[in-house]
Chains A and B, each alone.
Chain A
Amino acid sequence: MRPSSVQHFLARLYTDAALRARFLARPYGEARAAGFDEERARELAKIDAEELALAAESFAKKRRAK
């Protein structure tokens, strides 16, 4: 993965409900499937499900308002 991929992965998580659902069901596996090494995948797998849902909902609201 290129160095920019963490932000890219987060942008996808914030905007793609299907990816978010797959990630929340299997966070480490989905991060690995996205190409991250074990260490990064472990860090990404620590994302709090409730926080992710709140953030995604907030971003969706902002996109709809534009």
Chain B
Amino acid sequence: MRVGLGWRRELGASILSHLDEIDVVEVLAEPLFAATPAEKRAFRFLAAHVPIVVHGTSLGLASTDGVERHRLESLARLMEWLEPEAWSEHLAFVRAGGIEIGHLAAPPRNEETLAALAENVDAARRTVGAAPLLENVATLIEPPCSTYSEGEWLDVVPRATGCELLLDLHNLHANAANFGFAIELPRAHVGMVHLAGGRVIGGDRILDDHLHAVPDVLYEMLGDLDDTTVIIERDGNYPPFEELLAEVRRARGGRTLCAPTGMGARGAHAVRPYR
């Protein structure tokens, strides 16, 4: 496993001083669209010392309204000056009909969305010069008008777009727990993995808030995947950096440290208690 962290300003100094233990760094795209010359120099310095991947949150690649061209052009400019090894975006829509939702919304999992997604990915590929990895999103609401299950969706999307998945194990785990389905890892399509933590809300629902430690069950799921690139995301409530490094080390060693999971032949995981 190649394991790294998401770059956050609060973690920057600690990441820089522990690059011997961090294999890759993921930077958010949008804050760098208007990077100053000094910021560009700083991130180029970072990229000279560790592999960088870029992570977008605002394109809305699953939008049936299409992706706004100016956003793709901003991303293309960022890719040009930063020269990351890959970029990723979410299987989500973030606006529709001129309304900004404010965050990543899970789209209806159906043919209409799939066709729009394929068109949007093509446009992104043409403008940016490389195809994205596509990340599954967490949702608190079952997307209405869906004709695919989440497991089926994570199989048809890579086939329709030619993109690999950025498989967010916490998003998948949270959705499985919240909507009561067994997880089937889409092993054949995984190009990268996200790990994060969340919390229980309303008594029995998992909220993917990125403010807590990675739960044990995610390491077990990670142990069932082939070697890949893993990014641990933490967006606040930062613990001592040594705790994040411990998560990095645990993820890197996941395949040998994990106990057997009792998976079925198709890789199905039962949803377990959240811890």
- Interface residues of chain A, those whose CB is within 8 Å of chain B, are 3-8, 10-12, 14-15, 40, 43-44, 46-48, 50-52, 54-55, 58-60, 62-63, 66
Contacts and interface: CB of A to CB of B under 8 A. Distances in A.
Task: For chain B, give the interface size range.
Answer: 20 to 34
A50 B141 CA distance: 9
A40 B105 contact: no
B73 interface: no
Given A7-B97, A10-B105, A59-B103, 9 more contacts: A3-B64, A4-B65, A4-B96, A7-B93, A11-B95, A44-B144, A48-B141, A54-B140, A62-B102
B30 to A, nearest CB: 11
B144 A10 contact: yes
B180 interface: no
A40 B108 CA distance: 12
A59 B93 CA distance: 12
A47 B99 contact: no
A50 B142 CA distance: 11
A3 B64 CA distance: 8
Contacts of A6: 64, 108, 112, 144-145
Given A11-B96, A54-B205, A59 B105 contact: yes
A12 B205 CA distance: 24
Nearest to B146: A43
A62 B94 CA distance: 12
B13 interface: no
A66 B93 CA distance: 17
B202 interface: yes
A40 B110 CA distance: 13
Given A7-B64, A43-B144, A58 B103 contact: yes
B99 A51 contact: no
B107 A7 contact: yes
16 contacts: A3-B112, A4-B64, A4-B97, A6-B144, A7-B65, A7-B108, A8-B96, A8-B97, A11-B99, A47-B141, A52-B141, A55-B105, A59-B101, A59-B102, A60-B102, A62-B102
A58 B207 CA distance: 9
Given A55-B140, A63-B102, A10 B205 contact: no
